[in-house]
Chain A
Amino acid sequence: MVLNKFRLNFKSILVYLALLTFSMPIFLAFLWLIITTFSTRTEGLESLGWTLSNWSFLWKSPFGPKFQSIWFVTLNTFLLATVMTTIVVFVSSMSAYALSRMKFAGRKGFLSATLILHAFPSVTLLIPIYFVLRWITKIPIIGQGFPLIGGFGFNTIGGVALVMVAFQLPFGIWIMKGFFDNISWDMERSALIDGASRFQVWWKILMPNIKPGIAALSIFAFISGWNAYIIPFTFTVGRAGKSTVLSVYLQNFMSESVMTEWNMVAAVGLFQLIPVLIFFFFTQEALLNIYGGGAKGGA
């Protein structure tokens, strides 16, 4: 018995040691990142002088007085991630419900097609997407006339969000379909017998049952929108323009021909990371549910 206990403990220690060893580079990298942002220079993990100047971008633009403030850029990024998350969750859950619960012609083909779409790297679709955005730009109001997000055309936050949504939807639909598949059909049938419409069933019965799925997809979509680079970079004007986002703005610190101030790059990078870390901290349980499915006891 004692031997067994020892063996268990020894096994646990080994597991923890292994986990610690493999996690150490990540911990060290984060530690280095934090130390760097408060240092003039570093040698390994040692700071050669503490300073707050790397964080000065929070209260004044490092590139000149007429550059967009970091707060404006952060608002843009937040709008992009939020608009994208809202549309992805809404459209994914509706289409996943239909794909999970209804039989219609082309259902399997549609599912396969979304999977194929997911396999396309975004960079290969830049040119066709540009032509779509260009077309949307010319539609009155929708193209360029929305407050805050600018619209859904070229050089607007809404336009970039729309493109990001298109890339995120296959993933979202498949994930949400998995959650709907796990919900008992009996629950839905009872509601239908009681006179509920399909829409009511989806909204009032099924959606509350897949909250973990909604949370998980929201997190993935938000992080994807928050960190997006190639799409906003290609479809907005200027790394300091009206529609710029944090990942693109960060490039202002790294130029081909001017010395890169890596400590400030690290500080902006860490600043960009903070909302994601907070988001992740409060929702990590829901995030793990993505691998576990929705309500228990489903058919």
Chain B
Amino acid sequence: MKTSKSLLSIILIVILVMSFTAMALAQDLDIIPIKVRCRAKPPMENWRGLNFLVAEKDLNADLEAMGDPRRVKVEVIQDNLDWGDYITEFVLGYGAGESPDIWLTGHEYIGTQAEAGRIIALDGIIEEFPIYNLVFDTLWDCTKYKGKIWGVPQDAEARPLYWNKTLLKKLGWSDGEIAALPGKIEKGEFTLYDMLETAKQAVDKGVVEPGNGFWTRPKNGPDFTPFYYAFGGETIDSATGKLVFDKTAGLKYYGFFYDAAQKYGSMGCLGLDWSSAWHPGVTSKVLFWVGGTWQWAEWAEKFLKDLGGEAYMWENFGFGLIPAAEKGGKPNSLTHPLAYLVSSQCKYPDLAVALIAKVTNYGPNTRHAITSTHLGILKGQTEYKFYKQSRLLSEALYMLDYTTFLPNNPYWGTYSTITYEALAACVSGDFTPEKAVDFVVEGLNRELGDKIIIK
């Protein structure tokens, strides 16, 4: 009896000592929850968020080695919410004090969020992480607003002009001519109107149905801006930071889309549903279309998997830059980098930036680049063993030399909506190009007042 009592006492003492030790150890460590919110199309873009889970262990190991008592605990929230809802969610969450610490979004939203005070400028923090020096300077420019850096570029892409090789062959093009097309575009020998002429021939000969000669995306978005740039348009005044609309370029831009729809059997794409009509359309019955490099992975994984995926696409699709407007002109493309922003509600921005630094490295970024066919963001990434293995990324990389960007301005949303409404009206035949320009000038002046420069 006495022995069992002693045994019980010893067990109790051991339990107490162990509990106190555990508590003491636990009190030494400060667990910091870091919430990361990403928009990603599963499964192709899952690494946008999942990379942080790998980074968590890495950063905690660093903190432990330094003797820092803090440890991060990453929570990733990732889905494919539509952009509008995604932005609204951040704004509502911020208002309730529930914003994520790290928020991934398109760089063009930086202006609005910075003005509202919802994100912090990262100058003074990022300098402590030399890995950021590897990011292309042009991409940093995208995350600058009013002279400060507000985000870390996450990925980049090109928006090529794609074509269907099989349909071009039906039109009488030889393999050699098709193979030479990217080069001709790059030299400015094949222009936007040459493309429309080819599209019209395809329609006239019954190779494609009327409307299917050339397609853009079906809804408003960044893909239209490089065409405006091609005709000499500009969107931002570097001296004042104000948005710009160039009437001369605008007239040519709207003239091109008016002609495409009314004279060249193209642009039967506006208003189509993405998944049920647009993607199936461009992957089977459209001659030329503008898309993004990331869509290459979507087509291979989702739309053409049964036909052979990427192998089928290399066989049947070609791509090049968006042609110049005039012979000898410069072709272009558009890059729309997403960036990791840090919320002003984040209590430990140094840890958030340290986590972002961990995912801004060759390994994590290449994982994302390859699975989602986005272009790399780091200097020397093309030489990275695993990056080189992606044929698309290697073959599309030269497009970054010709790339253009959207402006970082809080009023870009208004500008983009008004200019797109005019474009849609040209395509439907409701507006002539002249009327479209008048509509845009009137709309921009009304909505933006002195925040817009009309040239």
**Which residues in A have some Cβ–Cβ distance to B below 8 Å?**
62-67, 130, 133-134, 137-138, 153-155, 233-235, 237-242, 252, 255-260
Cα separation A154 to B89 with both chains bound (whole Å): 11
Interface residue stretch chosen among B91-99, B318-326, B427-435: B91-99
Evaluate contact between B79 and A240: CB separation under 8 angstroms: yes
Evaluate contact between A256 and B82: CB separation under 8 angstroms: yes
Cα separation A255 to B303 with both chains bound (whole Å): 14
Evaluate contact between A138 and B97: CB separation under 8 angstroms: yes
Evaluate contact between A155 and B93: CB separation under 8 angstroms: yes
CB pairs A–B below 8 angstroms (9 shown): A62-B42, A65-B50, A67-B78, A237-B100, A252-B42, A256-B274, A257-B80, A258-B274, A259-B298
Residue of A64, A239, A240 touching B43 (CB-CB under 8 A): A64
Cα separation A154 to B97 with both chains bound (whole Å): 9
Report if B252 contacts A (CB, 8 A): no
> Which B residue sits closest to A258, measured CB to CB?
B41
Distance in angstroms from B109 CB to nearest chain A CB is 17
Q: In the assembled complex, which residues on chain A have CB atoms less than 8 Å from the CB atom of B302?
A: 258-259
Report if B240 contacts A (CB, 8 A): no
Distance in angstroms from B156 CB to nearest chain A CB is 18
> Which A residue sits closest to B302, measured CB to CB?
A259
A154 with B96, Cβ < 8 A, contacts A240-B78, A255-B80, A260-B275 known: yes
> Which B residue sits closest to A63, measured CB to CB?
B42
User: DSSP class of A's interface residues: helix, strand, loop or mixed?
Assistant: loop
> Which B residue sits closest to A239, measured CB to CB?
B79
Evaluate contact between A130 and B79: CB separation under 8 angstroms: no
Distance in angstroms from A232 CB to nearest chain B CB is 12
Report if B12 contacts A (CB, 8 A): no
Evaluate contact between A64 and B98: CB separation under 8 angstroms: no
Evaluate contact between B46 and A64: CB separation under 8 angstroms: yes
Distance in angstroms from B303 CB to nearest chain A CB is 6
Report if B418 contacts A (CB, 8 A): no
Cα separation A268 to B76 with both chains bound (whole Å): 23
Report if B77 contacts A (CB, 8 A): yes
Cα separation A237 to B97 with both chains bound (whole Å): 12
Evaluate contact between A234 and B274: CB separation under 8 angstroms: no
Evaluate contact between A63 and B93: CB separation under 8 angstroms: no
Residue of A66, A234, A255 touching B78 (CB-CB under 8 A): A66
> Which B residue sits closest to A255, measured CB to CB?
B80
A237 with B93, Cβ < 8 A, contacts A66-B78, A257-B275, A260-B276 known: yes
Q: In the assembled complex, which residues on chain B have CB atoms less than 8 Å from the CB atom of A138?
A: 97
Interface string of B70-82 (1 = CB under 8 A from A): 0000001111111
Report if B53 contacts A (CB, 8 A): yes
Distance in angstroms from A186 CB to nearest chain B CB is 52
**Which residues in B have some Cβ–Cβ distance to A below 8 Å?**
37, 41-43, 46, 49-50, 53, 76-82, 85, 89, 92-93, 95-98, 100, 274-276, 279, 298, 302-303
Evaluate contact between B79 and A63: CB separation under 8 angstroms: yes
Evaluate contact between A237 and B80: CB separation under 8 angstroms: no
Cα separation A260 to B100 with both chains bound (whole Å): 28
Cα separation A127 to B85 with both chains bound (whole Å): 14
Evaluate contact between B79 and A234: CB separation under 8 angstroms: no
Evaluate contact between A155 and B96: CB separation under 8 angstroms: yes
Evaluate contact between B41 and A255: CB separation under 8 angstroms: yes
Evaluate contact between A257 and B274: CB separation under 8 angstroms: yes
Cα separation A61 to B205 with both chains bound (whole Å): 48
Cα separation A242 to B98 with both chains bound (whole Å): 12
> Which A residue sits closest to B89, measured CB to CB?
A237
> Which B residue sits closest to A244, measured CB to CB?
B79
Residue of A233, A237, A252, A255 touching B98 (CB-CB under 8 A): A237
Evaluate contact between A133 and B96: CB separation under 8 angstroms: yes
Distance in angstroms from A128 CB to nearest chain B CB is 13
The 6 nearest A-B residue pairs measured at CB: A154-B96, A63-B42, A238-B77, A239-B79, A259-B302, A64-B46
Cα separation A242 to B76 with both chains bound (whole Å): 10
Q: In the assembled complex, which residues on chain A have CB atoms less than 8 Å from the CB atom of B82?
A: 255-256
Q: In the assembled complex, which residues on chain A have CB atoms less than 8 Å from the CB atom of B100?
A: 237
Cα separation A30 to B79 with both chains bound (whole Å): 29
Q: In the assembled complex, which residues on chain A have CB atoms less than 8 Å from the CB atom of B303?
A: 259
Q: Known contacts A238-B79, A239-B81, A255-B82; can you find 13 more A-B pairs with CB under 8 A?
A: A64-B78, A67-B78, A130-B95, A154-B93, A238-B78, A239-B79, A252-B42, A255-B275, A258-B41, A258-B275, A258-B298, A260-B275, A260-B276
Distance in angstroms from B355 CB to nearest chain A CB is 16
Residue of A62, A153, A252 touching B96 (CB-CB under 8 A): A153
Cα separation A64 to B89 with both chains bound (whole Å): 22
Cα separation A235 to B88 with both chains bound (whole Å): 11
Residue of B89, B97, B274 touching A137 (CB-CB under 8 A): B97
A259 with B275, Cβ < 8 A, contacts A66-B76, A130-B92, A240-B79 known: yes
Residue of A134, A137, A155, A252 touching B80 (CB-CB under 8 A): A252
Evaluate contact between A234 and B92: CB separation under 8 angstroms: yes
Q: In the assembled complex, which residues on chain A have CB atoms less than 8 Å from the CB atom of B85?
A: 233
Cα separation A178 to B96 with both chains bound (whole Å): 39
Q: In the assembled complex, which residues on chain A have CB atoms less than 8 Å from the CB atom of B93?
A: 154-155, 237
Evaluate contact between B275 and A238: CB separation under 8 angstroms: no
| A62, A240, A259 — most chain B CB neighbours (10 Å) | A259
Cα separation A48 to B334 with both chains bound (whole Å): 43
Cα separation A134 to B49 with both chains bound (whole Å): 27
Residue of B41, B89, B97 touching A257 (CB-CB under 8 A): B41
Evaluate contact between A154 and B98: CB separation under 8 angstroms: yes
| B46, B81, B100 — most chain A CB neighbours (10 Å) | B81
Evaluate contact between A259 and B279: CB separation under 8 angstroms: yes
A67 with B275, Cβ < 8 A, contacts A134-B95, A134-B96 known: no
Q: In the assembled complex, which residues on chain B have CB atoms less than 8 Å from the CB atom of A255?
A: 41, 80, 82, 274-275
Cα separation A89 to B163 with both chains bound (whole Å): 62
A238 with B81, Cβ < 8 A, contacts A130-B92, A154-B93, A260-B275 known: yes
Q: In the assembled complex, which residues on chain A have CB atoms less than 8 Å from the CB atom of B78?
A: 64, 66-67, 238, 240
A252 with B79, Cβ < 8 A, contacts A257-B275, A260-B275 known: yes
Q: In the assembled complex, which residues on chain B have CB atoms less than 8 Å from the CB atom of A130?
A: 92, 95-96
> Which B residue sits closest to A159, measured CB to CB?
B96
Evaluate contact between A66 and B50: CB separation under 8 angstroms: yes
> Which B residue sits closest to A144, measured CB to CB?
B98
Cα separation A67 to B49 with both chains bound (whole Å): 11
Q: In the assembled complex, which residues on chain B have CB atoms less than 8 Å from the CB atom of A256?
A: 82, 274-275
Cα separation A142 to B19 with both chains bound (whole Å): 30
> Which B residue sits closest to A133, measured CB to CB?
B96
